[in-house]
Amino acid sequence: MPERLLKPFQPQPWRDRRIEIILGNLLRTGVLLSAAVVLCGACIYLSCHAHEPTDYRVFRGEPSDYRTIPGVIQSVRNGRGRGLIQLGLLLLIATPIARVVFSIVGFAIERDRMYVAFTLIVLAVLLYSLLGSGVGL
Amino acid sequence: MTFTVLEFTVMVASVSFVAGLLGSLTGLGGGVVLVPLLTTFFHVDIRYAIGASLVSVIATSSGAAASYVKEGFSNIRIGMFLEIATTFGALLGAFLATRMPTNALAIIFGAVLLYSAFLSRKPRPQAQRNLPPDPLATRLRLNGSFPDEDGQRFYNVQRVPAGFSLMFGAGALSGLLGIGSGAVKVLAMDQAMQIPFKVSTTTSNFMIGVTAAASAGIYLSRGYVDPGLAMPVMLGVLGGSLLGSRILVKAETQSLRLVFATVILVLGLQMLYKGIWGNI
């Protein structure tokens, strides 16, 4: 084992910290934005359907309007509250993905190729889940 | 009995708010009690409950990240490296969840709840670790430092393969049950990898959002995320956990933890019962 590898690694604490703080604020902004969109959707949904009965006993699965990105956008265009709620939830799911994208930039600035590669793997899994599983269709 | 949309929304939002508040104050997480509460008291199908809970987990993790980051404990390299394991695990978990009978889901959920309750009562040794650097951890640049009373304290990460495997399991549980599985994540980092507890908990929180996002896409496309249910759950849990991170009730945390652990224990037994006797 070369001695170089046994020396404790010291990431530049100042740069790391700054990137982390930017990422933390990005996450909070994303969450608050998505919560605001969900809340708007909730107001429309409740004003239209407040007195209808609920039934979640039997699993039916959501209609495609609430399962895919184009379906959600279409139902938002039609002014549907539930479509707006789903849009807010999509923004929420996108928030950690944005964090991963920004981390790639951060590691690239530090010229840490290994971690750029690790982060790209994580991003690929996230995009596969969101787009490969049929949400994008 | 059936509720109207308005009644249902108000009640679910209130319960979620309390769950988020208690989860944040005790550090045990609110997601883990939501699914049993929704299935038991609101007669929600476990698949809808899991979809709504998973979404709320992303909200609490991401919402709390900004305040955790400022404390300077989390280690983004450890987090990102282990997220490779948790995101692949989450994909597997979500894939299994769409194929598994709901009874099996309830039994696994019950077991996880019992384990969480047990873990929360176990005393945590505050060992001063001073371990030699591990070659693999050094090569992966996982070792780091955090602020202490007397300056920066450095730590050396141990047993990377064991931690990585446990993290895969944590990701699979998160994808399967729609929970953050913070307890297993902390177990992997604190116990297996010998990462200081404070670093483990904050890094775990940072990872939970990314892990949950990996299975959320699959849940959404399979129609598990119902807007009418996910809306009050997400807004309630987020509100509760944001309030919880602002108020400090240091003196009562111990008894609060005991109360919450008891709730988790009871819900766990109930889920096991329902799973085994086919009542779900």
Q: What average pLDDT does the structure give for chain B?
A: 85
Can you tell me whether residue A6 is helix, strand or coil?
Answer: helix
Residue keyed to tokens 């446990």: B166
Residues of chain A with pLDDT under 70: 1-17, 133-137
Cβ pair A24:B217 closer than 8 A? no
**What is the average pLDDT across B91-99?**
90
**pLDDT of residue B14 exceeding 90:** yes
pLDDT at B278: 74
Distance CA B209, CA B29 (A): 13
- C-alpha B223/C-alpha B212 separation (Å) is 16
Which A residues 4-43 touch B at CB under 8 Å?
Answer: 5-9, 11, 13, 16-17, 19-21, 23-25, 27-28, 30-32, 34-35, 38-39, 41-42
Higher-confidence residue of B27 and B263: namely B263
CB of B131 within 8 Å of a chain A CB? The answer is no
- Tens of pLDDT, residue by residue over B67-93, are 776 677 788 899 999 999 999 999 999
Q: Say how far apart CA A104 and CA A135 lie, in whole Å.
A: 24
pLDDT band at B279 (very low <50, low <70, confident <90, very high): low
Residues A52, B5: C-beta atoms closer than 8 Å = yes
- Give mean pLDDT, residues B139-146: 86
Q: What is the predicted ipTM?
A: 0.88
Q: Which amino acid is at B183?
A: A
Number of residues in chain B: 280
Q: Give the Cα separation of B134 and B185 in Å (integer).
A: 20
Q: For residue B280, what pLDDT is reported?
A: 62
Q: In angstroms, rounded to a whole number, what is the distance separating the alpha carbons of residues B207 and B87? A: 9
Work out the minimum CA distance from A108 to partner chain B, whole angstroms. 13
Give yes or no for residue B124 having a pLDDT over 80.
no
pLDDT exceeds 90 at position B241: no
CA distances, A130 to each of A93, A124, A127, B91, B187 (Å): 9, 10, 5, 11, 29
Residues 6+ positions from B111 with CB-CB distance below 8 Å: B268, B272
CA dihedral sign of residues B233, B238, B243, B248:
positive
Using the predicted structure, report yes or no on whether residue B230 has a pLDDT greater than 60: yes
pLDDT digits (tens, 9 = 90+) for B178-194: 888 887 888 888 888 98
A52 and B9 within 8 Å at the Cβ level: the answer is no
